[in-house]
Structure 1
Amino acid sequence: MKEKVVAINRVAKVVKGGRRFSFSAIVVVGDGNGTVGYGLGKANEVTDAIAKGIDDAKKNLVKVPLYKHTVPHVMEGKYSGGFVLVQPAAAGTGVIAGGAMRAVFESAGIKDVLAKSKGSSNPHNVVKATFDALLKMRDPMQIAQQRGITLSQVFNG
């Protein structure tokens, strides 16, 4: 499993003696072959927060459809104020996406994709909106089964 830390945030709790600091980390894990998950970890130390985030991400793994190392079709994802646009790209294009989205695509094993983040730039919203877009995608085999046609008919119209 590939593990990528998307963001680490220092949060403060105001107590009688002043401020008590702790850390929250959002982490993305994936096998590089279409399985990916994200998790949030909170702890008093950065390393503990990352470890908790990795454990949480491994509990929330999902399978996303891949088509020749890219996504099958154009899709928009939304979570709270975060909007993302994800579209397939030709082989050799690479991952053209912002930081939080890039971590998700690289962990999922998507090598060629064009993506744009619109709205909120909060890493939590962007990661969750990217997952929303990826989970709404359907691969050609799925479409053929739903329509009751052959795979070649899906491609040729």
Structure 2
Amino acid sequence: MAEFIEAEKKDLDEKVLLIRRVSKKTTGGSAISFTALVVVGDHNGKLGIGLGRAKEVPKAIQKSIAQARKKIIYNRASRDHTFT
């Protein structure tokens, strides 16, 4: 079972999995925002997933990385495989 752990902030690789443009219709027109899904890990079983939303792509990525680093879990991979 996966457990939440405290991880060092360095030695974690970051990978952006998804960037999505979202449009919402309002009375004043369309409100556009971006969603980013990011995974962080150390290739040794520590894994964190974060989802960030913002009006600009870089800010959405920053938010998702921050969330992923807060939610690091340790997951034992079978047969010595890691998440890449």
TM-score range, shorter chain: 0.7 to 0.9
Of the three residues 3, 14, 18, the one matched with 1:7 is 18
Which 5+ residue runs of structure 2 have no aligned equivalent?
1-11
Moved over 6 A (4+): none
Partner of 1:32: 43
Q: TM-score by structure 2 length?
A: 0.78
Flag the structure with higher strand content: 2
Partner of 1:48: 59
Q: Which has the bigger relative contact order, CA under 8 A and spacing at least 6?
A: 2
Structure with max Cα Rg: 1
Partner of 1:57: 68
* Seq. identity, %: 45
Flag the structure with higher helix content: 1
For residue 51 of structure 1, give the secondary structure of its aligned residue in structure 2: helix
Of the three residues 20, 23, 44, the one matched with 2:31 is 20
CA-to-aligned-CA distance 1:25-77 (integer Å, 9 cap, x gap):
11100011110010100000000000000000011110011455327xxxxxx
Correspondences of 1:6-155 after superposition (within 5 Å): 6-66=17-77, 69-70=80-81, 105-106=83-84
Q: TM-score by structure 1 length?
A: 0.44
Aligned length: 73
- Equivalent position amino acid for 1:13 in 2: K
